[in-house]
Structures are given as structure tokens and as C-alpha cells.
Amino acid sequence: MEEPLDFEQEDQLVRTPLRPTNTNKRSKVIGLDDLLTDYYEEKNKYVHRKSKRLSLSKRDNSDEDDKSQKYKERMLSKFVHDCEKQVNEMSAEEEIPLWGHRVFGHQKSLPSTEYKGVADCQLLQPSSIGDLMSVFHLNEEQGESFLEGLLVNRWLCKLAFISGFVEDSTATWVFNKMLYSSNGELQVSACEFWCNILLSKDEADKPLVSLGWFPGYSQLMDALVTYGYLFDTSITRSSLSQEVHTDKPEGPPENISSWIKVISACCQIRSPRSIFSISEAEELLCIISHFSLDRELQGLLFIINECMQSLIIFFSEEEWDVSCKRVAKSLAFRTPKDLNCLRVVECVSVTNGRSKQLRSQIALQLLTLRFDTKVNDYKEILEVLMSVNVKDKDCKFFELYIYLVLVENFFLFHHLGEEKWVAIDTWCKFLRNCSSQITSTDWRSYASKVRNKASYILQTTVERSC
Amino acid sequence: MVNPNRKRGGNCSGGSSRENRSNNNNMDAWEENTMAILDSSGFKDSQDVHDDRLCFLEAVRSASLASEPSTAPSWRMFDAVFQILVDCNSLELAMASYQLLTELDKRYSRVYVMKSDNTESSSNGIGNLVVVKEAWSPFNLASGGERTAKDSCSLFDSVRFSTLIEDMVQAVNKLSFDLVIKAVGNLLLFQYLVNVLEEDLLPRLTVYKETLNWLLLKESVLNILLGSRKLNFKSLVRDCMSILLKRCHHNIPNNLQGLRSSEDTCSQSSQDCDVGLSIAVSELEKETCVAIQKFFKLVMELDVARKEADMHGLTSRLDGFRLPILEIVVDELTYNRDSLPPFLVVFSEPKWKLEIILQYFSKYVTKSSVRTRRSNEKSDGATLAGMLNNFSTAANTKNIVKRVTSGAAQLLLAHAFQAYLSLVHDSKQIASSTERIGATLSEICNSLISAFRNLRKTDEGLEITSFAKEALFAAAMVLKRKP
């Protein structure tokens, strides 16, 4: 191949300029390889010599090869060990737990849902339906089980609508079935019964069924205690398992979804004030929002949100400002100071002005609680943020990330009035610091998240304020 | 993710003459920035990808729902949100994307009725139907339309829709699950799609009833979806029925207590704990049964409108032909008699439940001797009173029981009565169903009781089911309260 082919020889013009460049290139590549091999050979020799010298200095040149081999092994194992240690340190630093917070501890024993005054139940009086009883043996399964059948097969609800009222004893019985029955079918039909009755209205917006007994805050709270809701969040999981009644199941029973739904329905009736007072509604809103932190209840997010929206509408225009702040404050106290802060804020689904305000307030309250230095309003928070040096080696990026998201949420929904522009200006300055001073090669955990988040918020803030 | 040096400045150009363009630029920049959150290049583990997706959903939410003024997401962004629901990598993402899509649909409706300000037309109460052409939809039904196959790969056409339902049937029949989350995703997806179909059809139906403009319904997503030749409508209905019959029950461990003790709940390694999934599934099972009934109801309403349009000569050959869903359901119940009782228990939508029972029953009633096309349509005129009339005397009852069997008869009577009772207290529903009743409340109750007396007379050993006993009890109570 090196020799020119017959026809190539004829065409000197084509051949001559090509050949030299080709050979040049090839020799150049070979030269680089050679250099490398030379370099490694040299280095090997050096190491070899060094180890030789080392072993020589200690002993005579017996078992010389073996010695150098052992030395190499020792060096390698030390190196590996160091690496391992570093990796462990890195992963320990990066281990930031996912959000998730148990809001339910051990259940207490569920109370009996037996119908107490079944003998006095108007509905079941035998005289009421004449000879049908005997003809069809309706009296065979009297009392509670017959009533249960009526409930599960949805007759009870129809009868309530036809007669226009529900006896008190029946109302409480169904309500207790809903809260405490472990029979899924019964529990679900009981919830359906109550939601249908509470939400029904005629054309004149009047309820179709008049109730002598309404569900109340205290019954709902009793149920929550029975389900094991942790009102005091200082109880940790470890102290939980040390509790005495460990035979009782942990976490809420399935009835929890009925509990949420019925509160939603209670708030939508014509005069919800007859059921909840303002402070009770505040407490419920706080508890419902708190539910969104429990990973076990993730699948109920949709009904949790519906319930939150119904509770938010409960308040009148004048009450809302104060109540919103109060709910946010108490929720912030119940929220652990980690990723849960972000979860609780982001679970307030913003569809109207009020839910925006709630989200913003929760963010603000969480911020004020999180800063060790006492801050009272957003201006001071911004000042503290501005003092953070992102170039600092010990900069806590995870914390910074949480502040970033919280402040963003606070700003998105808050009406700052005239000082708005000053605040936004400072905010943008801080965002610019984060996005430009953190290098893209910063591998520390959450460094890139802070950088990316800051630059995204910066973009949208700038666009919006143009 | 976002390159901070990209797109800085340049978006602030204002000026009234260029406002439109600058808005467009803003939109482009916003889309670019937000989509960049999902950019998975660079060093990222699965948790990072997960976080990025949540971040993306949150960014869309805050820009399109929370800020003032808010803008609808672009189609590309909508596609991405929908894709997250379709992928369904975790319960958290599935719930968040479902919720976001639902709320976006509420805010940016695709079809709505606008009452015109024009006094002349408003006196007639006729609203105008507004179809927002630019609105995104999870359905891609246009053949060779604007959206090519590439940019709409996750969108639904007829084939994908029926595949989704087939998957749901498989999940219900499965004995064990490797990935419960996939089943959860499908249930959420189905619910979302049915909601989209409903939001599209209902306003069209409202305007159609006023104007008899068939074109409005012809162009509805539901009609196009089901009219496709690629879709086997009959098997789709059967699939839906089989899910309903099982109450959408999934065979996953649902004993919460057992689940909690078997594993250290919610370990850090797994995103979704078994207890969380189990609670989610049991909630979704209920909601899916409601969604399937809603789907049936929509198709039935469409079918009724179609029939009316046919009679008015508003349709043409081009409209194609599809069996009415009611016929398929009734046939299915006739051939699989075992499925009649569970179906009647789970199907609770009163208006159409009564309709199904009346149609089912009319199959057993002696047809008029001359079966012309006309008398065939007469079965439409069946009423609850007419049905009860078949049991008015012992002789009649004996006659009909020979064909229907006494067991099925008591079942049909009791369920028809329940559906009727549900209609009675709903003033809106009863108005549209009066022609199906044909008697007063107390007349119906009396005929029901005498029907059961006659059933008992013809078949001494007949065991009255507890459901029927409850129906009789209810009838007696109604009579007592309303003399």
C-alpha cells in the first residue's frame, strides 16, 4: 500500500501534496502515543527505583520484588479507604429527608356505634305499616340490623327526603356509624347520607330536610382524638412507639375520608354558623391543612383540598384577615422545620384571592419561625437574606432553598402597597446573587437547586414587573 | 435547568404599538424558562427528576392560576403536565398533576355558554355556544389536523381511550400487583378524561336543546371519540360494565393495620408507602364507579339527542351509525342474567337506572301483534306505572312471572321504585322524567305493595329479598306520611 499504484505514478500532481501531510499526521499521532508510553515507563522506573531505595535502606535486597508489591498494596488500600471516607461524608451531607410527617399516632379504641334507643325509634314502630309486617315477615329482622339495611341500600336517605325530617336518634346513629364503623360499606353509605342531607336544597335555596340534631365540632374532635391525631406535635415518632397501648393500630382508620367530606358538607350548608364557630373553623382549617403532610394521606389530597376551600369560604370578609393569620401561625407551629415547610405551603391550592392570602401568610409565618434572629416582617427577612454569602464555604444551601421558596410564595400573593418596589428590588438583588455567584459546578447538595430556582424566579419576577 | 444568562432583559420592550409582540415574546420566554425546569440533562438522579417535575407543576400553577393577570399555559406546557399524569411515577406527582389539570380546566374552559347581551335573543333565553379553538385538550381526534403525531404522542384518541379502559379491566381482574401506582394513574386519568368529556358536552347539550342545532353535538369530543371506526364501542361498554360489576375493586392488600405492622411504614427509600397507596386506591375505586356512571349518562344523553335529531331529519349518512349505549347495556344484562343484581345495586344514577329497568322489562312484555316500525318505537313509551300494571292482578302476575321469573321481577320492581324515589325529591330530574312515571307517588306505592302481594300469591314459596322488603317498608312509610 505504501508503494504508489500504477495510475498514481502517472499523476504526480495529485500525489505529491497528499503524501507528505498523510505521513506527517500519522507520525504525529504515533509520536503522542510514544510520548505517553515513554512517560509511563519513566514513571514506573522512578517508582521502582524509589521503592528499591526504600527497601534497600531498610534491608538488603532479598525479597525485593515482594516488598515493593506489598508497599503498593498498602498505598492502594489507604487510598481506597480515604475515598470511601470522603464519599461517606458527602452522602451524609446530602441526605436530606423527603417531606413527610406523621400526623396520626396510635388509635384509641373505637366507641360502640350501637343504636341506643332502637326500641323508641319512630321509624321502626310496627303499627306504622299495618299488616305488611306479617305478610312479608318484615318483623323478622327487627331493630338495628334492619335499619342498617335501610342505610346501606340507600333507603334511609330517600325516606328522609320524603318525610322531610330525620329523627334525632337516627341522625346521631348514622353519624356515629360514619365516624366509627369499621364496616366499609356502612361507613361509606353513612357519609353519603349525611352529605346528601346537608347539601340538599330546593329552588328557594332552603334545605329539603329539617334536622333536629346537627353534627357538631365536639363530636368531630372526639373522633379525631380517637383516630389518634397528634394535637401536640412535639411528640415524636420514637416517643410514640414507647407508648403503652402499642396493640392499637397506628395511623388513621379509613373513616378519615368521611370525616373530611362531612366537614366540607357542613361548611356548605345555608347557615354553617349553626355548626361551627369562627375559632372552631380556624382550628379545623389548620388541622385539614396539616393532614397534607402525612404521606399516608397523599391519595386524599383532592378531598383535603376541597375541604380547605369550603372552610376558607366559611369566613366573612371582615373575619378573614385575622383568621387567616391565626390559622397560618398555628399551622406554622405544627410544621417541622424541613422540607415539610414547602409541602404545607404548596398544598394550599391557589384558586382564589383567599387561598392566595392563606398561602402567603403561611409562608410568612414559617419564615418568621425559621429565622433564629427575631424578625417581625418581610423587610427584616429580606435583610437577613441579603447578608447570606453564597460564596461562603459553609453556606447552608438547603436552608437557603427553603427560604427562597417561602419568600417567593409570600411575594406572589401579598399586596405590599407602596413599598412594593423597594422590596422587589432587594429581592431581585438577592436572586441575582444566588444565580450568578453560585457556580454551575458547585456539587454541594442543593447548591444547584438554589441557583436554578433563583434564576427562574428572577426571570418571572422581571417579566411580570415589566 | 435555566441558564441565568439566557433571556435576561429584552423582554421589557413595551410601547403600545408593540405590546402584542412583546406579550408574545413574554409568553415565549416564559414557556422556555418553565419548560427548562424539566430539562433532565446534567447530573441528576431519579429524586432530582422527581423534584424538577414537582417544581414545574408548581411553576405552571403559580403563573397560570395564582398570579394576576394569569395566562393559560402553552400547549407544550399542557402536554408536559398531562405527560406527568400519564407517566405516573409516584402518587405525589399523579395527585399534583391531576389537581392542576382539573383546576386549569375550571379556569380556562374550552366550551361555554354565553348569554348574549342582545335583548332580543336574551328574551328567548338562547345562549351562544363559545368554543375556544386555542384551548388545549387531552384528546387528539382530528385526523391530520394541526397537531402532528410527534408533538401529541401522549394525547388520547379513540384507540388509546379504549386501551385505557382495557387496562383498567385487567387491573380489576388481577390477583396481585407489582406496581399499584400504575393502576392509580389509570384511574385518575380516566376520571380526568371523563370530566373533560363532560365539560365539553354539557354546554353543547344546553344550547342544542334550545336551538336543535345538531352540528354542535356532532362536533362534540364525545361524539367524535365514539364515532371513530377504530373503536369497538360494544366491547368498550362491556369493559366499563365489568369494572362497575366489580365495583372497581382492586385486589390489593387493604387491611391498613396489617400493612402498617408488616413494614416500617413509609421508609425513606420508597416514595409511596403501601398504606398511602391503599388509602388512595380505596378512594379512587369509589370515584371511578361514579365516573363510569357519569360516562354512561353522557353517552345516553347524546344518544337521546341523536335520536331526536334523526327524527327531525337533521342528521345525514355522514354522521355514521353507532348502537345506542342503552341497548348494549340492556342486551348485556339480558344475556348475563347473573350480572343483573350487582349491576342494579351499583348503578345509582336514578334517571337512567329507571330507563334501563323499563327497557329491560319491556323485552318480556307481550309485543303488540303487528310489529311495525312504529310499534317497535312504542317501547319508548314504557312507564313505571305501566310496568307495575303487569302485576295488578294475580292472573297478570302469573303470566309475566313465567317469562321474567319471580326473582328478577321483585328485583326490578324494587330497584325501579328506588330510582323513582330518588327522582321525586329532585325537582330538576323529575321534570325530565315525568313521562316515565305515569302515576302519582301514592298510586305507585300502592301498586308496588299489591304487586308484591300478587307475586306472593302466584309463588307461595317466594323468598322476598331484604332489598325488596326495604322497598316495601319504604312504600308503606311514604303512604303513611303522605295520605
Q: A369 burial class (0-12, 13-18, 19+ CB within 10 angstroms)?
A: middle
pLDDT score for A5: 55
* Min Cα separation A109/chain B (Å): 14
State residue A211 phi and psi, 5-degree precision. -110, 135
Mutate to test the interface with A, among B267, B477, B481 (most CBs of A within 10 A): B477
Q: Which of A87-96, A335-344, B3-12 has the lowest mean pLDDT?
A: B3-12
**What does DSSP say about strands A210-211 and B111-115: parallel, antiparallel, or unpaired?**
unpaired
Q: Quickly count: other Cβ atoms within 10 Å of residue A125's Cβ.
A: 10
pLDDT at B239: 97
C-alpha cell at A410: 409570600
pLDDT, mean of residues A105-127: 76
Which helix (DSSP H) or strand (DSSP E) does residue B115 occupy?
A: strand B111-115
A446 in the Ramachandran plot: left (φ > 0), alpha (ψ -120 to 50) or beta? Answer: left
Helix (H) or strand (E) holding B470: helix B466-481
Mean pLDDT across A393-415: 85
- Going by DSSP bridges, is the β-strand pair A165-166/B127-131 parallel, antiparallel, or unpaired? unpaired
8 Å CB contact between A385 and A402? no
Taking the CA atoms of chain B, what radius of gyration do you get in angstroms? 27
Supply the DSSP symbol for A110: P
CB atoms under 10 Å from CB of B136, counted, come to 22
Among chain A residues, the shortest Cα distance to B44 is held by A448
- Note the pLDDT tens digit of each residue in A2-37: 555 555 454 544 444 444 444 444 444 455 666 666
**Interchain CB contact of B422 with A (< 8 Å):** yes
Lowest mean pLDDT, pick from A320-329, A356-365, B14-23: B14-23
The DSSP 8-state label assigned to residue B208 in this structure reads H
pLDDT of A369 reads 86
CA separation for the pair A344, A359 (Å, rounded): 9
Q: What is the ipTM of this complex?
A: 0.88
The rounded distance, in Å, linking the Cα atoms of B221 and B214 is: 14
On chain A, the residues whose CB falls within 8 A of the CB of B67 are 412, 464
Q: How far apart are CA A363 and CA A331, in angstroms?
A: 10
Residue whose C-alpha is closest to residue B55's, from B107, B13, B2:
B2
Question: Residue B130: helix, strand or coil by DSSP?
Answer: strand
CB B326 within 8 A of CB B356: yes
Does A298 contact B276 at a Cβ distance shorter than 8 Å? yes
Cell numbers describing residue A438: 453560585
Which residues does residue A211 pair with via DSSP β-bridges, in sequence order?
A: A166
Q: Rounded to 10 degrees, what is the CA torsion of A276, A277, A278, A281?
A: -30
If one compares A370 and A158, the residue with the highest pLDDT of the two is A158
pLDDT confidence band for A251 (50 / 70 / 90): confident
Residues A440, A445, A447, A448, Cα dihedral to 10°: 50
> To the nearest whole angstrom, how far is the Cα of B44 from the nearest Cα of chain A?
11
Does B268 sit within 8 Å of A98, measured CB to CB?
Answer: yes
Nearest to A409 by CA among A453, A374, A376, A445: A453
The nearest CA of chain A is from the CA of B309 a distance in Å of: 31
Which among A132, A163, A249 is the nearest to B257, CB-wise?
A249
Please indicate whether, in this complex, the C-beta atoms of B98 and A302 are within 8 angstroms of each other: yes
A205: left (phi over 0), alpha (psi -120 to 50) or beta: left
CA B16/CA B4 separation, integer angstroms:
28
State the cell numbers at A212. 333536629
User: How many other C-beta atoms lie within 10 A of the C-beta of residue A219?
Assistant: 14
Q: Against a cut of 0.90, is the pTM above it?
A: no
Q: Hey, what's the cell of B199?
A: 365539560
In sequence order, the 6+-apart residues with CB closer than 8 A to the CB of B254 are B278, B281, B282
Q: Nearest CA to CA, how far is A395 from chain B (Å)?
A: 21
> Burial of A245 by CB count in 10 Å (0-12 exposed, 13-18 middle, 19+ buried)?
exposed
Q: Check CB contact under 8 Å for B418 and A154.
A: yes
Nearest CB to B276: which of A162, A299, A464?
A: A299
Distance CA A358, CA A354 (A): 6
Asked if residues B139 and B226 have their Cβ atoms less than 8 Å apart, the reply is no
State percent of chain A over pLDDT 90: 33
C-alpha cell read off for B474 = 319504604
Please report which helix (H) or strand (E) contains residue A412, including its range. Answer: helix A397-413
State the nearest Cα–Cα gap between B1 and chain A, in angstroms. 6
Contacts of B476 in chain A (CB under 8 A): 128-130, 132
Contacts of B149 (CB under 8 A, 6+ apart): none
SS3 of chain B: helix, strand, coil, percent, to 5: 65, 0, 30
* Per-residue model confidence (pLDDT) at position B373: 44
C-alpha cell read off for B30? 416564559
Pick left, alpha or beta for residue B143 (phi over 0 → left; psi -120 to 50 → alpha; otherwise beta). Answer: beta
Q: Which residues on adjacent β-strands are paired with residue A358?
A: none
CA dihedral A321→A323→A329→A335, nearest 10 degrees, is: -120
CB contact (8 A) between residue B473 and residue A435: no
pLDDT given at position B229: 87
Q: Does position A77 have pLDDT exceeding 90, yes or no?
A: no
Q: Which helix (H) or strand (E) holds B327?
A: helix B325-335
Phi then psi dihedrals of residue B111, to 5 deg = -135, 135
Distance (Å) from the alpha carbon of A80 to chain B's nearest alpha carbon:
24
What pLDDT is attached to residue A16?
A: 42
pLDDT at B306: 93
CA dihedral B264, B266, B267, B273 (to 10 degrees): 100
pLDDT of residue B151: 54
Per the CB < 8 Å rule, is B466 touching A149? Answer: yes
Inter-chain contact B474–A436, Cβ cutoff 8 Å? Answer: no
Size of interface A-B (CB pairs under 8 A): 193
> How far away is chain A from the Cα of B481, in angstroms, using its nearest Cα?
7
Which residue ranges of chain B lie beneath pLDDT 50?
1-19, 121-123, 145, 265-269, 368-379
Which among B58, B425, B469 has the least Cβ separation from residue A208?
B425
The Cα–Cα gap between B248 and B207 comes to: 34
Q: What is the pLDDT of residues B135-171, one digit of tens each?
A: 999 998 876 545 555 555 678 999 999 999 999 999 9
Q: B4 contacts in A (CB within 8 Å)?
A: 435-436, 451, 454-455, 458
Q: What is the pLDDT of residue A14?
A: 43
Interchain contact B445–A (C-beta under 8 A) = no
Q: Supply the mean pLDDT for chain A.
A: 80
Is B231 in contact with B161 (CB distance < 8 Å)? Answer: yes
pLDDT at residue B481, rounded to an integer: 75
B242-266 b/e (C-beta count within 10 Å ≥ 16 → b): bbbbbebebebebebeebbeeeebb
